[in-house]
Amino acid sequence: MAERPTGLKATKGIELLTWGTPNGWKASIILEELKEAYGKDYTWQGINISQNIQKEDWFTKLGPNGRIPVIVDHDQGGFAVQEGLAILSYLTRHYDPDHKFSFTDPLDVSRAEQWIAWQAGGLGPMQGQANHFNRFTKEKIPYGMQRYTGETERLVGILDNHLKDTDYLVGNKYSIADIASFGWVHILRFSGVDLDAFPNLKAWWERIVSRPAVQKGTSIPQKGSFGNDQYLQRLKDDEEFAKSERELKDKIAAAKKEYGYKYASP
Ligand SMILES: N[C@@H](CCC(=O)N[C@@H](CS)C(=O)NCC(=O)O)C(=O)O
């Protein structure tokens, strides 16, 4: 078992403090992309959020919000950056000189900022609450279940609609705008939303998940079991898991019915 981190371990380059979650993957994916594109290496440490390492003093001195991901740039005097989206901007501003994952045209920069802001204020928080109400609360509260699952469906419907004439969110080019939302779409099935109902989004997810850097990025600190592909595999392999997932889906469907939920997007 890895030792519990107690402080920074690198002295140069970028050091990433993260865990295998949709927000953590924003940072590990862009770092893997920069590594593949430019040979920019980095160091990482796994911060097991169930052990609350992210609330310890040494961590909150770097990331005052006490959440992963956080990066430290040892080549900029130990400059620390919290928030996945600020990390995507920081890393591309400093280490993507050819703009392989970012933009120069001011209108494209704005388009990317809009999708990134949309993810930070919408998809991430709403899908996070869907997970919370569907899976993590002890008592199942139908109002919360249908409210946040429904809002997640509404939001991914917006992505699906936007992607009907383009392969990627901005300028038909894979970029930090896609990376920001990818992690959340990667666990859509786990969140109780049927990816098959959003064909353009599913094709976008398939395009992105097949990138080697994305495969590597989503394996840091280790490959999880929540990704859409792993989730489907587990349904096939593990009858008990499949049964409890069917029960959960029935509960979500019943909650939607109770409150007269009807899919609408936007
Ligand atoms: N807006 C932040 C959200 C970060 C966040 O919520 N991180 C979660 C993991 S996905 C976390 O650290 N949770 C542990 C905790 O709340 O203590 C970002 O995009 O980086």
Q: Return the pLDDT at 1.
A: 64
**Residue at 176: amino acid letter:** I
Q: Return the pLDDT at 224.
A: 81
C-alpha pair distances (Å), 111 with each of 29, 158, 190: 21, 15, 29
Q: To which H or E segment does residue 81 belong?
A: strand 79-82
Closest ligand 1 atom to residue 66 Cα is 17
**Per-residue pLDDT tens over the stretch 20-56:** 999 999 999 999 999 999 999 999 999 999 999 999 9
**What's the CA gap between 132 and 145, in Å, rounded?**
9
**Per-residue pLDDT tens over the stretch 205-259:** 999 999 999 999 999 999 888 999 999 999 999 999 999 999 999 999 999 999 9
Residue-by-residue DSSP string for 87-109: HHHHHHHHH-TT-SSS--SHHHH
How many whole angstroms from 128 Cα to the centroid of ligand 1? 9
Residue-by-residue DSSP string for 162-219: HTTS-SSTBTTB--HHHHHHHHHHHTTTTTT--GGG-HHHHHHHHHHHTSHHHHHHTT
Q: Once rounded to an integer, what is the mean pLDDT over residues 72-87? A: 98
Closest ligand 1 atom to residue 49 Cα is 14
Contact at 8 Å (CB) between 248 and 255?
no
Q: To which H or E segment does residue 236 belong?
A: helix 228-237
Mutational pocket test of ligand 1: of 16, 23, 191, the residue with most ligand atoms within 8 Å of the beta carbon: 23
Domains, the chain, ranges and CATH?
14-95 (3.40.30.10), 106-258 (1.20.1050.10)
β-strand partners of 73: 14, 79
The Cβ-side half-sphere exposure at 11, using a 13 Å CA radius, reads 0
Closest ligand 1 atom to residue 21 Cα is 10
Averaged pLDDT score across all residues of the chain = 97
**What's the CA gap between 82 and 86, in Å, rounded?**
7
Cβ neighbors of 36 (< 8 A, separation 6 or more) are 212, 213
Q: Which residues line ligand 1 (CB under 6 A)?
A: 21-23, 49, 54, 66-69, 83-85, 120, 124
User: What confidence tier does 2 reach under pLDDT thresholds 50, 70, 90?
Assistant: confident
Q: Once rounded to an integer, what is the mean pLDDT over residues 132-150? A: 96
How many whole angstroms from 224 Cα to the centroid of ligand 1? 16
Q: What is the distance in angstroms between the CA of the first residue and the CA of the last residue of the chain?
A: 46
User: What confidence tier does 177 reach under pLDDT thresholds 50, 70, 90?
Assistant: very high
**Per-residue pLDDT tens over the stretch 83-114:** 999 999 999 999 999 999 999 999 999 999 99
Q: What is the pairing mode between strands 42-46 and 70-73?
A: unpaired
**What's the CA gap between 241 and 231, in Å, rounded?**
10
How many whole angstroms from 21 Cα to the centroid of ligand 1? 8
Q: Return the pLDDT at 206.
A: 98
How many whole angstroms from 23 Cα to the centroid of ligand 1? 6
Q: Whose CA is nearest to atom 11 of ligand 1?
A: 67
Q: Return the pLDDT at 185.
A: 98
**Quick check: 159 pLDDT over 90?**
yes
Q: Return the pLDDT at 225.
A: 85
How many whole angstroms from 54 Cα to the centroid of ligand 1? 9
